[in-house]
Amino acid sequence: MSTEERKHSRKNPDRDIAEKRDWQPRIANIIAGLATIISLGLAIFTYRLYRIAADDSKTASNAATTAQKTLDATRNYDSISLTKQQITLDRAKEDADKREKSDGENSARQERSVESQIEFFKRAREQFEIDNEPYLQIGGFSRIVLKDGEPASFYYKIFNNGSHPVKAIKMQVELDFIPIRDSSDFVTNPYKEIVPFFPMDEYFSKETPTDKFYTGNPALPSGMMEKLRVGRMIMFFFGRLEYFNYINNKKRIYEFVIQFKAPNESQLDVRNIRTINKDE
């Protein structure tokens, strides 16, 4: 390298200082510009944060308001709903009370109706039993034999004047001759010296009267027919017949007392003194 070149290549201190002084304002301007830009950016960023915060606050406020309104509406709805439910429950209770009262009245009416029906059927049953109860009667005397010195004998019939058959269980009959003066006392209680019952197993129906035969023992004493004709003595045919009434499933008693007058040996004037059919 030449001496001139070496001279030019050496550094100039003054020039360097001058050049540094020229660059310092530039650097300061650059730094100031950058600071401004940064400050502006920070301001914009801060504003955006503010807007975001403000929007969030507004949104939160709106949400809180909406929540409060929703809560108030829910409370109001719940209150109305509870009120409606209470009204519904009250009405249901009133309806239940009315139904209970109505059911009680209906039950009472039904009970009275049932009792009336029971009473009606009871009376109807009683009337049916009365209308259809059997009624026995003795009559139809025939083939009469009345002679002094012989036992009296004759045939008779048992009639069932009711609508339904009956079953005969047992019977007792007797023929007796009573002085006229004692006839009233005899009729009062003719059965105190009657013969015992004899068993029976027969059915009496309305359509078919039952024929029976009676013969007395002992024989008529001498002069009895004359006493009967003139009325000094009275001949009584009397007895009792026990039978079963199928209408009410009860036993009944037929009691009879028949007074005979004998105008002659083959005829009788018959008079029913007592004819009773009664439950046992």
Task: Dump pLDDT digits (tens) for 71-119.
Answer: 566 566 666 776 777 888 888 888 888 887 877 788 888 888 888 889 8
pLDDT at residue 45, as a whole number: 63
DSSP H or E stretch at residue 33: helix 13-132
- For the ranges 7-11, 52-56, 216-220, 264-268, the maximum mean pLDDT occurs at 216-220
To the nearest whole number, what is the mean pLDDT of the chain? 80
Q: How deeply is 254 buried, as exposed, middle or buried, from its count of CB atoms within 10 A (0-12, 13-18, 19+)?
A: buried
Alpha-carbon distance of 217 to 186, in angstroms, equals 20
pLDDT at 25 over 80: no
Domain ranges of the chain: 1-94, 136-279
Q: Given a cut of 70, is residue 43 above it in pLDDT?
A: no
Q: Please, is 55 exposed, middle or buried when counting C-beta atoms within 10 Å of its C-beta (0-12, 13-18, 19+)? A: exposed
The answer, yes or no, to whether residue 9 has pLDDT greater than 50, is no
Partnered with residue 277 across adjacent β-strands are 254
- Report the pLDDT averaged over residues 163-173: 94
CATH, domain range 136-279: 2.60.40
The tokens for 143 are 């083939």
Predicted TM-score (pTM) of this structure: 0.57
Amino acid in the structure at residue 91: R
CA 218 → CA 59, 155, 166, 174, 236, distances in Å? 139, 18, 33, 12, 15
Query: What's phi and psi for 190, nearest 5 deg?
Result: -80, -10
**What pLDDT sits at residue 269?**
79
Q: Rounded CA gap, 168 and 190, in Å?
A: 22
* Mean pLDDT on 206-235: 90
Overall average pLDDT of the 52-81 stretch: 61
Nearest to 197 by CA among 221, 169, 228: 169
pLDDT > 90 in the chain, percent: 29
Residue 210 class from Cβ within 10 Å (0-12 exposed, 13-18 middle, 19+ buried)?
middle
Nearest-Å Rg of the Cα atoms of the chain is 69
| 260 vs 221: CA distance, rounded Å | 17
Rounded to whole angstroms, the Cα distance separating 131 from 254 reads 17
- pLDDT interval class at 171 (50, 70, 90): very high
C-alpha 209/C-alpha 153 separation (Å) is: 19
